[in-house]
Amino acid sequence: MMEEEILQLLRDHPSTFLSGEEMSRRLKVSRTAIWKRIRHLRSLGYQIEASTRSGYRLIHSPDLLTPSEVKPLLKTKWMGKVIHYFNSLDSTNSKAYDLATHGAEEGEVVIAESQLKGRGRLGRKWFSPPYLTLNLSVILRPSIFPQQASLITLMAAVATAEAIEKCSGLQPLIKWPNDILLKDRKVAGLLNEIQSETDRIHFVILGIGVNLNIDERMFPKEIRSIATSLKRERGEAVLRKEFLRYLLEELERWYKVLLEEGGDAVLTAWRKRSQIKGKSVRVTSFGETLTGIAVDVDSSGSLILKTENGERKRVVAGDVEYTNKAPISKQ
């Protein structure tokens, strides 16, 4: 906490030195304590010039996702106003779930620079190496029925795709149910978890993982040919705190659209990005494999499939593989 305050003081005096004495007076701690914190901040990548006569001056800040780096950029009304920041966690979703169970409010977010047990859909692992990704979980408390919870996932997929586009100029597509792709490779994924009663949602944990600055060779072999990052696709690293800012802003905007205008507005935006309609697909769902043509995604987020024998099937969860990329017929 004191480090945040030291940074704030230094930021408030961008072009002048601030003496150790002045800082120790303002923060009511010894000069040695200030010096120790400055030394730690330097180890995190802050360039802080020190002059024996004049004091300290902040020269450069690293691209960390700490509240003190992110908050000055953030233009949201309520999303991300409380940031629970961790250098490392097992999973931001687990932490957010725990916080929400103990009363954390809508819009509070959990961020970890790395995850030791990052979770993906269907029990998979999520690769989250330090300082190269965004690992975010948002606590939401929407007044909608539990049956409509998948709309939150669709909304978050749209917001994530829009944030990627705003930050990089690239145009991601969404692959059902919620993979975000750039040139057919996965750049981001969503894992939403809810706690509810039959007719009331207590909270939703919106978990979003984005591969920002991972180089291709860093990905584990099993996913190297199917994963990508923003850095790889655009040819240069992104400023992670700027991406986070865009993402929180888009989430706030699209959540409002969902609550005020309803699911159709979100579905329209989702469909534009998904391009799944008319595609020939193979879907694996609960151990069963279905093939057919994707007709649409309904208002509950389920995939409507026309199977080879002409039957219509509603698929609630699963994995999709495109077996023929061109649209086959109009449905």
Q: What's the min distance (Å) between Cβ of 167 and ligand BTN? A: 17
CB nearer ligand BTN, residue 120 or residue 262: 120
Query: Measuring CA to CA, how many Å separate 259 from each of 141, 151, 182, 200, 265?
Result: 11, 10, 29, 15, 10
The answer to whether residues 89 and 136 touch, using CB atoms and an 8 Å cutoff, is: no
CB nearer ligand BTN, residue 58 or residue 109: 109
CB nearer ligand BTN, residue 211 or residue 280: 211
Q: What's the min distance (Å) between Cβ of 136 and ligand BTN? A: 6
Chain residue whose CB lies nearest ligand BTN? 189
Residue 134 has phi, psi (to 5 degrees) of: -115, 125
CB nearer ligand BTN, residue 46 or residue 126: 126
Rounded-to-integer distance, Cα 87 and Cα 104, Å: 20
Q: What's the min distance (Å) between Cβ of 205 and ligand BTN? A: 8
Rounded-to-integer distance, Cα 48 and Cα 39, Å: 9
CB nearer ligand BTN, residue 186 or residue 279: 186
Q: What's the min distance (Å) between Cβ of 90 and ligand BTN? A: 8
Interface residues with ligand BTN (CB under 6 A)? 91-93, 115, 118-121, 124, 126, 135-137, 179, 189-191, 207-209
CB nearer ligand BTN, residue 191 or residue 230: 191
CB nearer ligand BTN, residue 135 or residue 302: 135
Q: What's the min distance (Å) between Cβ of 94 and ligand BTN? A: 7
